[in-house]
Chain A
Amino acid sequence: MFTRRGMIRIGAASVGSLALRPFGLLPGLAQSGPDYRALVCVFLFGGNDANNMIVPMDDTSYKAYTSMRGTLALTGNALSAPITAVSGEPYAFHAKLTEVASMFKSKELAVVANVGSLVQPLTRAMYQAQQAPVPLNLFSHSDQQLQWQTSVGQGNSPTGWAGRVADYISSQNINSSKFPTFVSVAGNSLEGIGTQTQPVALAPGQSLQLAGFNTSAASQARLHAVDQLLTTDSGVALVQAANDTLSNSVADANALGTALSKAPGLKTVFPKTSLGAQLQQVAQIIQVNSVLGMRRQIFFVSLGGFDTHTDEINVHNTLYPQLSPALAAFYTATQELGLAQNVTTFTESDFSRTFQATSGLGSDHAWGSHHMVLGGAVQGGQIYGKFPTFEFAGPDDADVRGRWIPSTAIDQYGATLCSWFGIPDSALATVFPNLANFGASPKLQFLG
C-alpha cells in the first residue's frame, strides 16, 4: 500500500546544501498554467477561542456577548470597527486582526460560523439524551485535532482527508510528477496521509538534500551503500518505516531542489515570524508549481499556543498579530503570482472554547468554532453557516458553559473546499465518508 517516490539520485548537479532564493531580487512571474489550484491549511493548535476572533455587533448579540463572557468580553478599542457583512449584519473582529478585518471588508475573506466535528446533525436535546452518535472523546485536544485532520468523528482513521484527496489526484494522474500533492511546512500531519500517497514535510528555508557527499569515488560508494540499504526490505516494520521516510526525503529533495533553483523570487515581504516563514515557503513552492509538475497542491502550516485556559486576552494579543499579517502577506504573494483566484487558504483548530470564562481570565475546551477562508475565489465579506445563540444552556450549548454544538460539520467545510479544488461529488464520498449524513446539499456557498 505504500509506495516510495524514488531512489536516491544525487549527482554532481544537486550536491551540497540548497539555499532558497532570497526575496525581492527578481520580479515575480507566475509559471503556472491556467489550471492550477492550491489549498492552504493554517492549523491553529491548542483550540482558538473564536468567540473573541469575530463578534456579532447587533445590539442583542453584543449585549449577550458582554454579559456572558464577563472578564473575557472585548469592548471598545479591543475590537475593530463594526463591518457590515453582505447579508447586512454588523460584525467586529479582534482588534489585533487588522488585516483580516480589512480583507473581510474587501470581500477576500469569509467566515464560516460554528464548524466542528460531527457524525451527523445534532441538537442539544439529541446530545443530552445520548441517543445520537457523537464524535469520540469530545473536548480532548488530540482527538479533536485528529478529527479536524481526518474528518472522521468516530474511530481512528489511518488517513487524513487531504491525504485521501491526494490519493484521488494521484489516481487521476492530475499532477505530472511524483512530487507529493501534500506538503507540510509544519511537521508530520495526519491530514496529508493517504492510502496510496504520503506527504512531504520540510522546514522553511531548509533543504532536504543529504549533506556531505561529493563526486569522488569513495563518496559515491558510500552514497550507493546508503541507497542500497534504503531499497532493502529488512522485514522489520519500524525499520521499514524509517527507511521509507528517508527514501522519500531524498527523492523529494531532488525534485524540490531542481524546481526552487529556477524560482525567480517574490517581491512580497513576509513578516519575520514562524508563520510568516512557513507561508513564505509555501508561496515559493507555489511559484514553481509548473516546474514541479503540479496542478493541484495542498499545503499545511501551523501556529500554536491557543490553549488559553488562563491569560487569554494577553495571549491573543500576541498570537493574532502573528496570524493576521502573515495571512495578508501570503494573499498578497498569490496576487503577485497572478494566482489569487487559484489559491484558497483556510483555518482549522482543535475546537473553540467555553463562552464562560475560567477563574484565571481564560476559557476551557469546547467544540464548534468559527473559521476563516481567504482567497480570490472566496465569496468574502460574508458569514456562512449559523452563529450560535448566545445563551448558557440554550439551544446551541452542549452543557451550561457555552460549548457550542457545531451547526456545520468539518465534512461540509472540507467538501466545499474540495469541490472548488476539483474533486467530483462521486469522489467526495470517499474523502468525507460521513458527508451523506448532512443532507442532499451539504456544501456551503463560500466558494461560489
Chain B
Amino acid sequence: MKNLFVSVLFAATLLSRPAVSQVSFVETGRTAARLLDQATWGPTAADMIQVQTMGVNDWLNWQFSLNTSDLPDQPILTTAGMPNYDLTPVQSAFFQNAVTGQDQLRQRVAFALHETWVVSAVQTRWAYAYPPYWRIFRDNAFGNYRDIIKAVTLSPAMGDYLSMANNNKGNPAKGTSANENYARELMQLFTLGLTQLHPDGTPVLDTNNNPIPTYNQAVVTNVAKIMTGWTFPAAPNATPKNNNPFYFIGQMYAADINHDTSAKAIFGNIQIPAGQTAVQDLESLLDALMAQNTMAPFVCTRLIQHLVTSNPSPEYIARVSNVFLDNGSGVRGDMKAVVTAILTDQEARAGDSPGAAVSSSFGHLREPILFLTNLLRGLNATLDGANTLYRFPSQLGQNLFFPPTVFSYFSPQYRTEKGLLGPEFQINSTQTASFRADQVNTALYGTLEKDVKLDLTTYLAMGNDISSLLDYIDFIFMHQTMSSDLRAAATSAASAANTPLARVQAALYVVLTSGEYQVIQ
C-alpha cells in the first residue's frame, strides 16, 4: 500500500526538481517523513519521495544550497503618509514561503534563530524593519554563529528593540548610565545563558553543588559600556550625526565620541583594554563570547528543541556541542555542521526504525505556526501572497513577528506539569488547546479563508476504503507511527460517517486533534 503512493507520485514530483546526482542509499518512507517533520514546515508526498530518492545526506546538502525565499520590503510610510506598521504582507509572504518554498530547512533554521534573537513588533513597530532583519537569519542559517551575533548587534531593528542604538556612555552631569538592556539579553538569551554549562548541557557546579553564574551585575554594567557609541544608519538625504533618529535599513555605525573607552572586566575573567574604539570593543567582545564553551550547549540545546525534541539527552547535546566547538576543521560556530549533527544524530533518528525503543520523553509539541503549515502542506493547500493565515497561530498565542517580549513566543525553559521541558506548552492552555481543535474543524468542515484552498482529492479517492485512507493519513501526517488506539478511534469515527467526504473529514479530524499527532515524535 505505502509503496503504491510512492510509485504513483514518484514520476510527477521529480519533474520540477533537480536531478538526483546519485542515490547513496534508499531511505525508508518512515525516515523520510520523520526527517521532514523535523527539518521542514511539514512532510508532503513529493518531499518524502525526494528524501527517499536522494538519501538524507544528499537531501541535506541540497537544502543547504538553496536560498529561494524572501520576505518583501515594505514602504516606510503608508500611501497616506502615515507610519507603516502593517506587517500583514510580510506575514503573508512568510506563510506562502513556508507552504510552497523549496528552501524548507533554511526557513526552519532561520525561524528557530528568529525565535531566539527576538525583535518584536509589539514595541518596534515599523514594518520595513522586519524583512532586512529576517534576512540576517535566512542568509546566515548555515553560516557561522559569530556572524549572526555581529549582524544582529549592528542591526538597527535590534538597536531599537533592545536600546543598543544611541546607547551613549554614562553622563555624570545628567546622572545617566550606559543602557544595560542589550548587554544583558545578549548574554542571557542569545549566547551564554545564566549559568555555566558542560558540553552536555548540565550545569557546572561549585564546591557547594550550586550552579556557577556566567556573569554578574558588574559584567552586565561593563558589557553595556562596551556597547556604547552606536547609532542608527542615517536615512538617505539626512546628515549623519552622532545620534541619528531611527532608520531601519543598513547597519548601525559607531560614533566614538559617545563610546566609553574605559577598561572593562567581563565574563570568563577577560579584560577589555582601555582606549579601544567602539568597533574594536565589539570585535573583542565577539571573540570573548565565542571563546566561552558554555555557548555551545546553550545554543545547540535551543536548536535541538526547535527542530527535534524538547528533552534531548545530555549525550545528544554533547555530540552536537562538540561539533559547534569544532566542526572537524577547527572552526567554531559552523551552523551547517551543527544542523547536520542535530538532524543526523542517532537520537533524532532512533524513531526511524519500526519497533525502535524511543524515550518516552522524546519529541516536541508542534508550535502553532508549525501546526498550521503542517496541516496546509499535508492537505495540499494552495494560497496566495495576500493570505491572512497569521490569524490562526495568533489565536493560539503565536502572533508572527509579535512575540510578547524578548523572551519570545515561549520559553525554552518552560516545563509541563510532570516536570519535563516543553517550551511550546507555555502557550498551550486550556483555551488554546480548544482553539487548536477548532482550527482543525474550520479547515476540514469550513473554510480557513477565501483564497486558501485545500485539495483533498487524494484522500477522497480512498473515501470508501477506510483502511487505505488511514494508511495514507498515517503516511502523510504520522510517519507511519500511528498507534492502534488512534487508528481504532479514527476508524470508528469514519465508519459512522455516510459519505466519502464525511469519512475523510472525520478520520482527519480525529487524527489531527490527537495529542499523538500534536506532539512530533
Contact = CB atoms under 8 A, between A and B. Distances in A.
A93 interface: no
A187 B429 contact: yes
Given A45-B404, A201-B430, A212-B441, A241 B166 contact: no
Contacts of B106: none
A360 B405 contact: no
Given A142-B407, A237-B416, A238-B361, A202 B492 contact: no
Contacts of A184: 429
| Interface magnitude class on chain A | 35 or more
B361 A237 contact: yes
A46 B122 CA distance: 13
Nearest to B178: A359
A198 interface: yes
A205 to B, nearest CB: 11
A335 interface: no
Most buried by B among A71, A207, A237, A304: A237
Interface in B385-429: 397, 404-407, 411, 413, 415-420, 422, 425-429
Contact of A399 (B166, B217, B406, B413): B217
Contacts of B490: 225
B429 A364 contact: no
Interface string A204-222: 0011111110000110011
B417 A238 contact: no
B310 A221 contact: no
Contact of B425 (A67, A142, A241, A364): A241
Most buried by A among B123, B184, B430: B430
A208 B430 CA distance: 7
Given A68-B175, A212-B445, A242-B365, A201 B405 contact: no
Contact of A249 (B413, B434, B441): B434
Nearest to B499: A218
Interface string A113-138: 00000000000000000000000111
Contacts of B489: 225-226, 228-229
A365 B187 CA distance: 15
Given A201-B431, A359-B170, A243 B509 contact: no
Contacts, number: 256
A217 B176 contact: no
A307 interface: yes
Contact of B163 (A224, A305, A360, A399): A360
B510 interface: yes
B172 to A, nearest CB: 10
Contacts of B437: 210-211, 226, 246
B514 interface: yes
B231 to A, nearest CB: 12
Interface in B218-271: 220, 228
B38 to A, nearest CB: 15
A202 B405 contact: no
B430 A218 contact: no
Interface in B433-448: 433-438, 441-442, 445
A142 B413 contact: yes
A202 B431 contact: yes
B501 to A, nearest CB: 12
Nearest to B490: A225
Contacts of A211: 437-438, 441-442
Contacts of A250: 434
B487 to A, nearest CB: 11
Interface residues of B, number: 87
Contact of B492 (A225, A253, A309, A401): A225
Nearest to B258: A359
B176 A70 contact: yes
B176 A359 contact: yes
A137 B503 CA distance: 54
B360 A218 contact: no
Most buried by A among B431, B514, B518: B431
Contacts of A326: none
Interface in A56-88: 67-71
A167 interface: no
Given A187-B397, A218-B506, A229-B486, A304 B404 contact: yes
A248 interface: yes
Interface string A390-413: 000000001101010000000000
Contacts of B404: 45, 304
A232 B485 contact: yes
Given A238-B365, A249-B431, A360 B167 contact: yes
Interface in B495-521: 495-498, 502, 506, 509-510, 513-516, 518-519, 521
Nearest to B489: A225
Contacts of A240: 418, 515
A368 interface: no
A140 B516 CA distance: 35
A253 B485 CA distance: 25
Contacts of B167: 358-360
A187 B364 contact: no
A137 B194 contact: yes
A225 B419 CA distance: 29
B433 to A, nearest CB: 4
Given A140-B194, A206-B431, A248-B430, A243 B180 contact: no
Given A139-B184, A140-B188, A208-B431, A358 B519 contact: no
A176 to B, nearest CB: 21
Interface string B144-168: 0000000000000000001100111
Given A138-B217, A232-B485, A305-B122, A358 B178 contact: yes
Contact of A236 (B162, B177, B407, B521): B521
Given A140-B194, A201-B430, A238-B422, A218 B497 contact: yes
Given A211-B438, A234-B515, A241-B417, A187 B427 contact: yes
Contacts of A362: 163, 179, 181
A4 B449 CA distance: 35
Interface string A294-320: 000000000011010110000000000
B175 A221 contact: no
A437 interface: no
Given A242-B515, A248-B430, A309 B181 contact: yes
B178 A234 contact: no
B430 A238 contact: no
A249 B430 contact: yes
Interface in B350-364: 360-364
Contacts of B79: none
B405 A307 contact: yes
B7 interface: no
B14 interface: no
B493 interface: yes
Interface in A343-359: 354, 356-359
B171 A137 contact: no
A191 interface: no
B450 interface: no
B92 to A, nearest CB: 24
A1 B416 CA distance: 13
B483 interface: yes
Interface of A: 1-2, 45-46, 67-71, 136-143, 158, 184, 187-188, 193, 198, 200-203, 206-212, 217-218, 221-222, 224-226, 228-230, 232, 234-246, 248-250, 252-253, 304-305, 307, 309-310, 354, 356-360, 362, 364-365, 398-399, 401, 403
25 contacts: A67-B175, A138-B217, A139-B217, A139-B220, A141-B406, A187-B431, A200-B430, A218-B498, A222-B509, A229-B514, A230-B515, A237-B418, A238-B310, A238-B425, A239-B363, A240-B418, A242-B515, A245-B428, A245-B429, A245-B430, A356-B177, A357-B177, A359-B178, A365-B184, A399-B217
Given A142-B413, A236-B360, 15 more contacts: A70-B175, A187-B427, A210-B438, A221-B506, A226-B437, A229-B485, A229-B516, A237-B360, A240-B418, A245-B433, A309-B180, A310-B179, A358-B177, A364-B180, A399-B217
